[in-house]
């Protein structure tokens, strides 16, 4: 199935599929480290993306208590939830608005090489 990937380039910040997924997974796991691990991302990389997002917006998108036994845990703030929701809304709007053109493009693609999975007789 065809997918769209969308990056929003603000003058001062960038929001794309990676940061959106990270926010979503932090919300689910309550942990920056766990969210990063699920995305095969180093702890350092996940933290650096969170710091970048927190600095880019008026309010932090993720609040966290670093350290402590087992880590301090992290939450997606209300602003973080709003940013994620609006990013996903732009993506959904793009999908719907572009659907007819995407279908027309699909019709121009070369047929996929078929792998014959039927058993030999």
Which residues sit at the interface with its own copies, rule CB under 8 A? 1-13, 15-16, 55-59, 79, 82-83, 86-87, 89-91, 93-94, 96-98, 101-102, 104-106, 108-112
What are 46's two structure tokens? 């996940």
H/E element, 49: helix 43-56
- 15: phi then psi, degrees, rounded to nearest 5: -130, 120
Q: Give 74 or 83: the residue with its C-beta nearer to its own copies.
A: 83
Q: 4 and 88 in contact (C-beta within 8 Å)?
A: no
Q: Give 38 or 79: the residue with its C-beta nearer to its own copies.
A: 79
Q: Give 28 or 92: the residue with its C-beta nearer to its own copies.
A: 92
- Closest separation between CB of residue 89 and its own copies, Å? 5
- Closest separation between CB of residue 34 and its own copies, Å? 26
Strands 74-76 and 62-64: antiparallel
Determine the longest span between alpha carbons in the chain, in angstroms: 66
- Closest separation between CB of residue 38 and its own copies, Å? 21
């Amino acid at each position: 199935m065809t997918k769209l990937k969308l990056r929003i380039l603000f003058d001062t910040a960038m929001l794309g599929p990676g940061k959106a997924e990270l926010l979503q997974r932090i919300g689910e796991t309550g942990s920056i480290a766990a969210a990063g691990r699920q995305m095969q991302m180093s702890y350092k990389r996940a933290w650096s993306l969170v710091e970048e997002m927190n600095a880019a917006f008026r309010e932090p998108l993720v609040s966290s208590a670093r350290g402590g036994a087992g880590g301090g845990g992290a939450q997606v703030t209300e602003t973080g939830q709003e940013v994620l929701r609006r990013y996903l809304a732009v993506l959904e709007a793009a999908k719907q608005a572009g659907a007819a053109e995407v279908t027309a493009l699909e019709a121009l693609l070369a047929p996929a090489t078929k792998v014959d999975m039927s058993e030999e007789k």
